[in-house]
Structure 1
Amino acid sequence: MDDIARIERENIGFNEMDAWLNKNGVTEIECLVPDLTGVPRGKILPRGKFREERGMRLPEAVLGMTVTGEVPSSDVFNSIISEADSDLILKPDPNTVRIVPWASDPTAEVIHDCFTVDNKLVSYAPRSVLRHVLDLYAQRGWKPVVAPELEFYILARNTDPNQPLEPPVGRSGRSESGRQAYSIDAVNEFDPLFEDIYEYCDKQELEIDTLIHEIGTGQMEINFLHGDPLELADSVFYFKRTVREAALRHNMYATFMAKPMAHQPGSAMHIHQSVVDIDSGENLFSNSDGSDSSLFRGAIGGLQKFLPSTMALLAPYVNSYRRLVRDTAAPTNVQWGRDNRTVGIRVPHSSPKAKRLENRVVGADANPYLAMAATLACTYLGMVNRVEASPELRGNGYNHPHEHELPRSLNEAIDLLRETKALHDVLGRSFIAVYSSVKELEYTEFMRVISPWERQHLLLHV
């Protein structure tokens, strides 16, 4: 059975999708595909054309662009994405169809998968990478369960990129000041915005859980209910669109940049993960007596061994590494500990049935599909290869003698990703080649920019 047939069998199917579109009176379809950065690409089709074509075509380069829209020209890149820039065939995943709640006319959105002309999944597409990792788990009778926690900032509108960002004005007519971690009143300052966010999420059937005010000024966090990694990655993809759209309608910006403001904490996407047996549903991280299983210890060991090599996916921009510095509520190590937020791998308090790991390294700016895939790839390699975890770290992880166990720049992270062959087998060699080429070009583009810091401190002093 080819990949298209397999996906159609697993989901609700086109007939059910058509019935849903009819029921909701949909006249237009936003046909979306997540690119390497997590940006929605695609086309808007009239309902009739969508029904006839069951998808669309886009140039291959859509999956090989930097965040600025540039395309690499290296031999390695061109060996995968041809210079002829042929078409991708994109097919809708019926299970992802949602109403676009802010559209003026009845409009639906649906995420598409990318295929070659012979009906094979394009291996370097972000959804394909995650699907491949999930298939590896399924072959061993395992099913990963995840729950992301996503931080973001709401900001005053700022159309000048040369000016620092500021918190927005709330209902009181004043901008937030100081640190308001877990403050209910600080969240209530922006009630109209969050009422729209919850309404939009409800209409899109996005199962969000808790809303809290995080440490930073104007920094919020939304927690998602645990579930299937691909479905949760789709939800995060939709959620980012939703929050940005809602903020604009309230004359604000919302950003998922890892470090938008110099003197505020960065934003993360913490990923909680457990693994259950497909047949029994039992949590494989716990033994029958509730103690830690060997698979649990292997998963920790896998994260410790391979997280540094996946940082180009988990911290994908130059800005990402501004978050990963000492004493900013972000981890700088791959140590693990129970209920310890100063380490990269936290084991929250839970019952044996709910035992899980929390990867605290991931930035909010990461592509959710690739962040899930990278996290699951690390734990998979650790469990399969019985990688031994280090002893638990107790106390402050920032005082650990090996504090800097993660790459400290995008350039270093790209090199580590290319060098770690074990990850190539799990994430896909063509994906690694395309992704690292794109990130290398982004880094080169950034290095052509002269920052205000350089002009301020170097212009007349060196």
Structure 2
Amino acid sequence: MTLDDYMADPASRFATVAMTDTNGLLRGQMVSANSLKGIAKNGMGMAPAQLALDPTDAMPGVNDDKGDFHDDPLQLDPGSVRRLPWSKAGHDLLVLSNYTGASSQICPRAILKSVLARAGEAGLVPKYGMELEYTLFDETPESAKAKGYRNLKTATAHASHDLILYQVVQTEWYEAVAAMCEPLKIDLAKMHEEIGAGFMEACIGAGEGMEPADQLVLLKNFIRALALRQGRSVTFMPRWNEKADSQSIHLHISLKDKTGRSLFWDAKEKNGVSRTFRHFLGGLQAYVGDTTLVFQPTVNSYRRFAPGTFAPPGLTWGFENRTTCFRLVGHDAGSLRVENRLPGADSNPYLSAAATIAAGVAGVIGEIEPDPETIGSGYAQQPARDFARSMPDAIDRLRGSAFAKDWLGARFVEAFTATRESQHNEFRRKVPDVELERFFDLG
């Protein structure tokens, strides 16, 4: 059903207009079908200050370009229309939107649109898909809080990488996720158990334009909703405790020209890696480090890189090598791609896609050559280039990056670094329980 069909149906009562904040959380309002007609034409006002909110609605340092909590118009995207999975007919329309005008400069969905348009002007069409890692708990948010988020009951007792046993035991969960994805028009390509207790992965099929990022935003938000409806909970924290492995979003991407021909494949070259693909890799290595804060946006993000976790060791690349940051995958023109393994599971899919595409396309335009391929374990080798290893370093690198200001926008860089700096300063004032345990008596 199209947006026009829904508005014309006399049985339609309400619709949900949603936008995505910098954390990847959907925010919006339910509007009547009658109101929707005017909104579809003129947009809907909402305070862009919401883009700066932390997940618990803390206002970290900045709000909007004027500081007066004004409304700016959200523009509906009629092509994004889908159904809410548990709502009754007539109340179940969901339409995504993004800010226009000045507020588009700090709106994640609008920023990805801008990057895709700029790639298109260079004759390049990105095709990308995304993998989402999360941990499922047999705990409600209330029971987890009551336990101090310690000794939580995960959905499986043990690490269970691809164990069919646990997938069969949890068939109701997997079937519920699949059923939820149908009305949301999420192209769910794969689901499986991952490397830790309760640790799972869900993969979005590759596509073009806004769809893959739209779908992953929806998947993150509605997987959490599904768990809550079942009296359970999920987390996308990169490290939710010191024994857990790191959780990430892996972004797979290739390039085509406007005729649909793969620009990454050259049968004459080693592993089919074309000159354009080399330059794309060169751009990733040259610029992704500047945008570490986009891929690692919270104070918890940097715990993902503790020794012994299966996280990227540096800005390295290798063919079918999971110990590198940029893993080349595929064996023909239709499948050859690069997997960016840097984004944490807490990252915003729009921003992660925008920063990855921008870095690679800038490399193609600038004909940047990559470093030599990493052969063997990347963990046993010193990387020539690295991303930021702390939040203050990541803030400084993004704030000083000419690349980020050019491709993602100076206003975004200013606002995003301000919110993250505020978050880091807030947590610097905290005294963690582990410090009390270690130092209270004899420190």
TM over 0.5: yes
Cross-structure match for 1:110: 95
Would you say 1:133 and 2:115 are equivalent positions?
Answer: yes
Q: TM-score, normalised by structure 1?
A: 0.89
Cross-structure match for 1:86: 70
Q: Distance in 2 between matches of 1:137 and 1:407?
A: 26
Q: Distance in 1 between matches of 2:220 and 2:122?
A: 33
Cα distance per residue 1:350-389 (max 9 Å; x no partner): 2133221110111111011001001111111211111121
Q: Distance in 1 between matches of 2:11 and 2:176?
A: 22
Q: TM-score, normalised by structure 2?
A: 0.93
Cα gap change, 1:21 to 1:223, in 2 (>3 Å): farther
The alignment partner of 2:95 has SS state of strand
Which of residues 54, 65, 75 in structure 1 aligns to 2:53?
65
Q: Say if 1:193 and 1:246, in contact at 8 Å, map to a contact too.
A: no
Q: Distance in 1 between matches of 2:383 and 2:319?
A: 19
Cross-structure match for 1:38: 24
Q: Say if 1:72 and 1:438, in contact at 8 Å, map to a contact too.
A: yes
Cross-structure match for 1:402: 383
The alignment partner of 2:114 has SS state of helix
Cross-structure match for 1:210: 190
Which deviates more from structure 2 when the two are superposed, residues 290-299 or residues 268-277?
A: 290-299
Cα gap change, 1:165 to 1:441, in 2 (>3 Å): farther
What's the offset of the Cα at 1:403?
8.5
Would you say 1:262 and 2:248 are equivalent positions?
Answer: no
Cross-structure match for 1:440: 421
Matches within 5 A, 1:230-379: 230-278=210-258, 280-287=259-266, 289=268, 291-379=272-360
RMSD of Structure 2 on Structure 1 (CA): 2.1
Cross-structure match for 2:35: 49
Q: Say if 1:156 and 1:253, in contact at 8 Å, map to a contact too.
A: yes
The alignment partner of 1:439 has SS state of helix
Cα distance per residue 1:77-132 (max 9 Å; x no partner): 67x6112222111121111111111125632111112123xxx7722110111011
Q: Say if 1:168 and 1:252, in contact at 8 Å, map to a contact too.
A: no
Cross-structure match for 1:189: 169
What's the offset of the Cα at 1:289?
3.8
Cross-structure match for 1:172: none
Cα distance per residue 1:178-217 (max 9 Å; x no partner): 2210011112222212211111101222111111111111
Cα distance per residue 1:394-416 (max 9 Å; x no partner): 11111112398222221211111
Cα gap change, 1:21 to 1:217, in 2 (>3 Å): farther
Q: Distance in 2 between matches of 1:98 and 1:150?
A: 21
State the number of aligned residues: 434
What's the offset of the Cα at 1:69?
2.5
What's the offset of the Cα at 1:21?
5.4
Would you say 1:385 and 2:362 are equivalent positions?
Answer: no
Would you say 1:425 and 2:402 are equivalent positions?
Answer: no
Q: Distance in 2 between matches of 1:374 and 1:288?
A: 29
Q: Distance in 2 between matches of 1:185 and 1:412?
A: 43
Q: Say if 1:345 and 1:359, in contact at 8 Å, map to a contact too.
A: yes
What amino acid is the match of 1:423?
A
Q: Distance in 2 between matches of 1:104 and 1:325?
A: 46
Q: Say if 1:133 and 1:426, in contact at 8 Å, map to a contact too.
A: yes
Q: Say if 1:121 and 1:128, in contact at 8 Å, map to a contact too.
A: no
Which deviates more from structure 2 when the two are superposed, residues 320-329 or residues 33-42?
A: 320-329
Cα gap change, 1:153 to 1:403, in 2 (>3 Å): farther
Would you say 1:164 and 2:150 are equivalent positions?
Answer: yes
Q: Identity rate of aligned residues, in percent?
A: 28
Q: Distance in 2 between matches of 1:27 and 1:375?
A: 40
Q: Distance in 2 between matches of 1:26 and 1:442?
A: 42
Q: Which runs of 5+ in 2 are unaligned?
A: none
The alignment partner of 2:105 has SS state of coil
Cross-structure match for 1:96: 80
Which of residues 197, 201, 208 in structure 2 aligns to 1:221?
201
Q: Distance in 1 between matches of 2:284 and 2:151?
A: 34
The alignment partner of 2:307 has SS state of coil
Would you say 1:18 and 2:4 are equivalent positions?
Answer: yes
Cα distance per residue 1:397-443 (max 9 Å; x no partner): 11112398222221211111111112210111111111111111111
The alignment partner of 1:398 has SS state of helix
Which deviates more from structure 2 when the two are superposed, residues 369-378 or residues 157-166?
A: 157-166
What's the offset of the Cα at 1:18?
2.1
What amino acid is the match of 1:433?
E
Q: Say if 2:7 and 2:37, in contact at 8 Å, map to a contact too.
A: no
The alignment partner of 1:354 has SS state of coil
Q: Which runs of 5+ in 1 are unaligned?
A: 1-14, 170-175
Would you say 1:122 and 2:117 are equivalent positions?
Answer: no
Cα distance per residue 1:45-71 (max 9 Å; x no partner): 122222233342112311222334333
